Structure 1
């Protein structure tokens, strides 16, 4: 059994991870960390059944006393970097779904993971469909260099654009190279109306509204035609096969793997 600590367990994704870890035959919940519900049994987040694992806000102590082998983190940009560094220092392998880690934190995480010879998986998206969308978009960019991305998420998501949108843009830019897209001197009558601008003019538009989970369109344009590659998430359950795969694979890795596609399409 793989002993798993869940950081951000009371959040929407944290609860889904909790259900998945409890349902899988080879994973065991050993620690539940969240800044809310301190002291309550983790089972109260689901059916109310007692799990004999108390929620705690002290990550370092939880990892030190629980025997955790893997920490799954679905917190947010404000805490993810520090959480991952804490896990690695404790000898625990992180599986990270939270996005928005700073460049400095990422550099420290990479150095720690390498020095301690611990695996660490940081994945902007754990759904197979989204990973295929990124893969197909990168291929299409060889032939359709003019492209914009529209991503839509629930209104409680703190960071914009999403990690998936940034990852998609990076893969597209790798394929199309240095390409100036659109009118160089276009005028925005309302600041930001044309979205955020990546190198070479690639635009990302972020929508935040209640009712959405996670959705993305990659729209390519050429003379007389457009091509749209789209992925829609209708339930957070779709992330869980990827999360469980990462939990299992991170035990055999050394260093940081950024993007689940590096494990799925290897």
Structure 2
């Protein structure tokens, strides 16, 4: 491995991909060696992102990009349809993978874990790179011991493809691990409009809001007799995710196997 960690960004035309490219370029311990996006038509990153010092051309073929650059790490911010194959491609080439794209299911996670172990590299699947979001999830997990009745509202920009968010799913899983099962409070409840009560994960209702102007937000609402507790996190700018992305790159380069969730890297 070179002195600097060589990084490629997959999904470089997306907002998170662009922000990641800037962050990697600006870190003295990392070297941005390649940018790839299936929508690319040979654009120069600096021309479209306003960073003239980044003169890399964005390519549309991940295999060719890997062959050209021989990176140490791939960061993936693509879409739920592409992320699994992208990550398999990288791991097969013994490239550490940082996955910020949500949508991987349990079977896919296990297969990626096996492949990473076989190739003796690391793969990090991070539903949310914001430190505040990780703290929100951990606080919600703690509160679940005392407030088993809970619902989750997650709010994102209107271009987000999947619902609910990976953060909401991860939060529900963490809460489930730390609360006693409870019977339905209102067995006679019915929906006059299908979906009005949101989706359900392990008995926890999850509601997804998609509106322009939003970035990434989540509120966990606990209810108890005569009181309620709300834990909320708001991301107002994607730059807030970048410390988590950079930390993941540097920690995973010496890690083997699967890491799921930023809290396991703190």
* Structures share fold, TM-score greater than 0.5: yes
Q: Which residue of 2 aligns with 1:104?
A: 107
Q: Structure 2: which 5+ residue stretches go unaligned?
A: none
Conserved? CA contact 2:94–2:120, under 8 Å? no
Contact 1:82 1:105 in 2 (8 A): no
1:52, CA displacement in angstroms?
4.1
Cα displacement string for residues 190-244 of structure 1 (whole angstroms, at most 9, x for unaligned residues): 0000000122x21000000001000000000011100000001100000000000
- Aligned structure 1 segments of 4 or more residues deviating by more than 4 angstroms: none
Find the counterpart in structure 2 of residue 80 from structure 1: 83
- SS of 2:88's equivalent in the other structure is helix
Task: Show CA shifts across 1:142-192 (max 9, x none).
Answer: 000000000000000000000000000000000013222431331011000
Paired residue for 1:149?
Answer: 152
- What residue number does 1:249 align with? 251
1:115 alignment partner, SS class: helix
1:1-266 mapped onto 2 (5 Å cutoff)? 1-47=4-50, 49=52, 51-199=54-202, 201-264=203-266
SS of equivalent residue, structure 2 residue 209: strand
Distance 1:136 1:38 in 2: 44
Instruction: Note the C-alpha offset of 1:86.
Output: 0.5
Q: What's the RMSD between the two structures over aligned residues?
A: 1.2
Aligned-partner Cα distance in 1 for 2:161–2:8: 23
Q: What is the CA-CA distance between 1:44 and the residue it aligns to?
A: 2.1
**CA–CA distance in structure 2, aligned partners of residues 181 and 9 of structure 1:** 45
8 Å CA contact 2:24–2:246 kept in 1: the answer is yes
SS in 2 for 1:138: helix
Alignment partners' CA distance in 1, 2:201 and 2:107: 20
Q: Secondary structure at the match of 1:177?
A: coil
Q: What TM-score, normalized by structure 1, do the two folds share? A: 0.96
- CA distance in 2 between counterparts of 1:168 and 1:238 reads 19
SS of equivalent to 1:176? coil
Contact 2:158–2:212 (CA under 8 A) maintained in structure 1: yes
User: 3-state DSSP class of the match of 1:175?
Assistant: coil
Quote how far apart the aligned CAs of 1:50 are: 5.6
Task: Assess if the C-alpha contact under 8 Å between 1:39 and 1:55 holds in 2.
Answer: yes
Q: Give, in whole Å, the separation in 1 of the partners of 2:184 and 2:256.
A: 39
After TM superposition, give the deviation of residue 48 of structure 1 in Å: 5.2
CA distance in 1, matches of 2:83, 2:237: 23
Secondary structure of the 1:71 match is strand
How far apart, in 2, do the equivalents of 1:261 and 1:131 lie?
A: 6
